[in-house]
Structure 1
Amino acid sequence: MKLECVKYGEKMDAAQATCKHPGDYCQHRQSCMIQFIERENRGEQKTAAKETDSRNVER
């Protein structure tokens, strides 16, 4: 799925969704799919890292 930044018109794939201008003010940030998916992807990465760590501790 392709996502488009409403403010800058930048297009990106949902798997690599990251805000290219996180420090800039954006009136669309609260409803931004790029921001939402970026947070969701970060959460999945943290969960995967925790699972890997717990497997290493059990050994």
Structure 2
Amino acid sequence: MLHLTEWTHFAHIYAQRLTTRVANPRVIDGRGTLNANTWREAGWTFRPLGRP
């Protein structure tokens, strides 16, 4: 999944709910608005652009 917007209602997506609906839970946060810990705890591979 690519996250490429700063709109706040997209920054509060329920990572746990999406985990059961995707084959490979991976997300790239192109705007730095997602909470990395939340996504990782939900089982996602989380990659923020421009951050380690």
Give the alignment's TM-score, normalised by structure 1: 0.27
Structure with the larger RCO, 1 or 2 (CA within 8 Å, 6+ apart): 2
| Bigger radius of gyration | 1
- Higher fraction of helix: 1
- Higher fraction of strand: 2
Give the alignment's TM-score, normalised by structure 2: 0.28
